[in-house]
Amino acid sequence: MAILEQHKIGKVSIQLQVTKQNNKKVPFVYIPVTLSFWILTCKPFAIPFQAGMGDTVFAPMYQLLQKRGVHIQFFHQVNNITLHPKRQTEIEFINIVKQVETSEPEYMPLITVKNLPSWPSKPKYNLIDSDQSNLLKEHLVNLESFWSNWPEIYKNHFGKDLPVLQLQRGRDFDTVVYGMSVASLPHTCGELLLASHKLRNAHSHVKTCATQAFQIWTDMSLNELGWNRHSFPFLDGWRGSLDAYASMNQVLEFEDWASYGKDPQNVAYFCSQLNVTNFPPENITNFPQEMSNIVKHNALQKLTYARDIWPNSFENGHYNWTMLTDLDELVGMRRFDSQYWRANIDPSELYVQSPVNSSIHRITTNGTEFTGIYFTGDWIKTGINMGCVEGAVTAGMQTAAAIIQQHDRK
Ligand SMILES: Cc1cc2nc3c(=O)[nH]c(=O)nc-3n(C[C@H](O)[C@H](O)[C@H](O)COP(=O)(O)OP(=O)(O)OC[C@H]3O[C@@H](n4cnc5c(N)ncnc54)[C@H](O)[C@@H]3O)c2cc1C
């Protein structure tokens, strides 16, 4: 069982998640430590994101691929990759659920916010078949969720299952690049896991964890809130859950608050590991809502300590909700409802950890027994071996190099 240990190194307090293996304590890197580690080590040579990660990292990558003629199909969910029944090292089929019908052959995902091509948090409903998009909106469907109730809603409305495409090796594809997370393996390629000792080994040693986050915008500036130090705040290990806090005021310039009539003066991001003891099967569709409620509760709890960092955020001994930027102009604690919180619980969203002695169990991109499939992402062995975009990009480059090498050999 995992336990938390509090350690002090000089003045810095560090939490380690520890498990017992063969009666020896084995520390796991605990996510806030990892997150702050990047910032602390990267600060001298890294530039903080000037807008959201989707807009600064993923949108440009998407645009580049599009420019190079890569054909990208959105709303296609891989649900099973299977092996050839006789040749157990060859991929045979990939089954893909087509989640929605788009109204144009090429779905363009980006929106423009203050001249910056940005990745929206919801699909562009106007580019989806109108019957389907109305249903999606009416039932607040999250197509990315592992626990999505869309298959059931679709079947009840249209009287049939969502369409499934079956791609066959040799006919529809030659080479597969598997870019989903290590935690997705059991849900998308159970047969491969059973057949490959190396893949199973990577899956059991490269651990993942759920995370939680919330963001608040305030009409008061950091100075007005009482943060009177020279540097922007970046805290870690601050009072229990959601213990990593970073001021992200530099992104405000790229947010559009025209309908509010004035710009917020401060935006704060909080994040940490989320303890989830049991991930239920996909038919338990209320699980994401339950987790979201827990994160909201934790966030509200966190703000009761806000006086530690923002002494002026309290009035008469209580957190002053009026300072929260709220487009709906609600009263009291309800102003929190227009802030942002999130439970990252989907298999593909889980944070890839780097427990001690786990790197040797990672696989290289073509390091399994299978031919014609390359694994990629921040969980494979790249030399970086940690959950970060640089790890994912390096993995992508190594995958490309391995495919080119294989092609040249032929
Ligand atoms: C809370 C949090 C904060 C982070 N902050 C930072 C940070 O500040 N800096 C940093 O460098 N890194 C950060 N990371 C880590 C970073 O996000 C990951 O390392 C990176 O996204 C991994 O990229 P990837 O391509 O390996 O996997 P992913 O980004 O997970 O990509 C996998 C893709 O597969 C898709 N997918 C999943 N299932 C299916 C399916 N069944 N069918 C089809 N497609 C599917 C997903 O939609 C997704 O697009 C953070 C991670 C978390 C959880």
Dihedral of CA 152/156/158/159: which sign? Answer: positive
Ligand 1 centroid – CA 128 distance (Å): 25
- Looking from the CA of residue 96, the nearest atom of ligand 1 is 42
pLDDT at 274: 97
Ligand 1 centroid – CA 192 distance (Å): 22
Ligand 1 centroid – CA 168 distance (Å): 27
pLDDT at 234: 84
Q: In this structure, are residues 245 and 235 in contact, taking their beta carbons and an 8 Å threshold?
A: yes
pLDDT at 47: 61
- Residue 153: burial class (beta carbons within 10 Å; 0-12, 13-18, 19+): middle
> Ligand 1 within 6 A of 184 CB?
yes
| Dist CA 369 CA 132 (whole Å) | 41
User: What backbone phi and psi angles, to 5 degrees, belong to 255?
Assistant: -100, 145
Ligand 1 centroid – CA 389 distance (Å): 8
CA-nearest of 197, 170, 231 to 48 is 231
The DSSP H or E segment spanning 223 is: helix 222-225
- Looking from the CA of residue 378, the nearest atom of ligand 1 is 26
pLDDT at 236: 87
> Ligand 1 within 6 A of 350 CB?
no
pLDDT at 20: 39
> Ligand 1 within 6 A of 117 CB?
no
Please give the structure tokens belonging to residue 288: 């994401």
- Listed by start position, the domains of the chain span 1-27, 211-344
Ligand 1 centroid – CA 387 distance (Å): 9
Give SS3 for 142: coil
Which residues of the chain register pLDDT less than 50?
A: 1-45
What pLDDT, in 10s, does the model give residues 51-101? 888 898 899 999 999 999 999 999 999 999 999 999 999 999 999 999 999
Residue nearest to atom 14 of ligand 1 (CA): 388
